[in-house]
Amino acid sequence: MALSLGKPVFCEKPLGVSVEDGKKMVAAAEKSGAVNMIGFNYIRTPASQFVRKLISEGEIGDITWFRGEHTEDFYSDPNIPATWRATGLENGTMGDLAPHMINAALAIMGPIKRLSADVATVHSSRPGGAVDNDDHAQMMCTFKNGAMGHLYFSRIATGRKMGYAYEIHGTKGAIRFDQEDQNAIWLYKSDENPEKQGFKKILTGPHHPDYEPFCQGPGHGTGYQDQIITNIEGAGMKAEQKETTGGHTASEGQVKFLRDLLGQIPEEEQAKYKEVVLSDSITWQYAKENIPVMQELANKAKNKSSNAPF
C-alpha cells in the first residue's frame, strides 16, 4: 500500500515470511520507484563503514579471503522453552541472524559466485514443543572477485552475545572487526617495520563516517540506537544516488502537504520557505538539504510529522 502511494519504505528483515512474499515486495518497490531499504543496520556502524572505505581505497591490497559470522547464544541451552523462535523458517537462524552477515559479506566483498552450504537443527525439541527450524548453518563460498570465504551463523554459540564479526585478508594487510567491540577495528599492514608489525587497534571518532552527529569524543563510541538512525539516513543516501541516475521527485502528496503547510502561516513569514515548497520539482536531495527549514515550517503550522507523507 505504501509503495503504491509512492512513499519511502523502510522494512526490517525478514522482507517476507516466504521467498514469494519477498519477491512481491521487490517487484512492488521496483514498479513504484519509491525509496526503499531493508534494515541491515550493523553494516552502518562507523567502524564497518570505515572498513569499506579502507578496502575501496586499496589499503590492504587485493582481497584474498573473507571470514564472517553472526553468532549468539540465546538458544544454546536446550532447556530453554520453545517460543515463536522455534517455529517457521523465517524465525530460524537462516531467517534471523544469517541475513546480517550475508549482507555484510556482499557489502564488503561484492557478489558471491558459487557456494556450498549446510544447515542443521541441533536441538529438535525444547520444553513446550518441537523445533521446526534451524539452529546453525555455514557456507563456503567464492566471491565474484575471486576471493574465497567462509560464513557461519548460530543461535547456539555458547558465550557469544553479539558475535557479528569478520576478518578480511589482503595482499598488503588484514582487518578484523567484532560487534561486541563495535567502536574499534584491528588493522594489520604488511609494509610496516617487522619489529613493529602486528594488528593495531583503531578507535572510531568524529573523523569516521556517521560518528560526529552522535558524539564528539573519540573513543567514546556510538550505540545500537545510533545505528538505526544512520541506517534510515542511508535510505536518504540511496535516494541521492537514484537522483544522479534519473532523479527522484517528491510525490504529489508530499508536495501538497508542504504547500498546505505554507498556507497555514502568516503571509509575511512565507518568503523563506517558498523556494523549497514551490519548486516545480522537489527532489529528495533538495528536500533532504532543507529538512530544518521544512521542520520549522511544520512547527509553525502546528502540523507535526505524524501526518507528513515523508
Instruction: Give the pLDDT score at 296.
Output: 62
Residue type, position 178, single letter: D
Q: Of 5-19, 101-115, 240-254, which range is least confident?
A: 240-254
- Residue 15 in 3-state DSSP? coil
Give the residue extent of every domain in the chain. 1-35, 42-223, 252-307
Q: Which of 27, 7, 47 is nearest to 209 (CA)?
A: 47
Q: Answer yes or no: is pLDDT of 81 > 80.
A: yes
Instruction: Give the pLDDT score at 109.
Output: 95
In this prediction, residue 305 has a pLDDT band, given cuts at 50, 70 and 90, of very low
Instruction: Give the pLDDT score at 13.
Output: 82
pLDDT digits (tens, 9 = 90+) for 138-149: 999 999 999 999
Q: Answer yes or no: is pLDDT of 227 > 90.
A: no
Residues 275 and 289: beta-carbon distance below 8 Å: no
163-170 β-sheet, strand order: 112-120, 136-143, 148-154, 63-71, 163-170, 173-178, 184-189, 200-203
> What's the mean per-residue pLDDT of the chain?
83
Q: Quickly list DSSP for 83-97.
A: -GGGSSGGGSHHHHT
Instruction: Give the pLDDT score at 32.
Output: 86
Architecture, CATH, for domain 42-223: 2-Layer Sandwich (3.30)
Q: Of 125-129, 137-141, 248-252, which range is least confident?
A: 248-252
The whole-model pTM stands at 0.74
Instruction: Give the pLDDT score at 6.
Output: 82
Q: Answer yes or no: is pLDDT of 185 > 90.
A: yes
- How many of the other CB atoms lie within 10 Å of CB of 36? 21
Torsion-angle region of residue 124: left (phi > 0), alpha (psi -120 to 50) or beta? alpha
Q: Answer yes or no: is pLDDT of 116 > 90.
A: yes
Instruction: Give the pLDDT score at 280.
Output: 47
In this prediction, residue 284 has a pLDDT band, given cuts at 50, 70 and 90, of very low
Q: Which of 193, 143, 192, 191 is nearest to 168 (CA)?
A: 143
d(CA 182, CA 170): 22
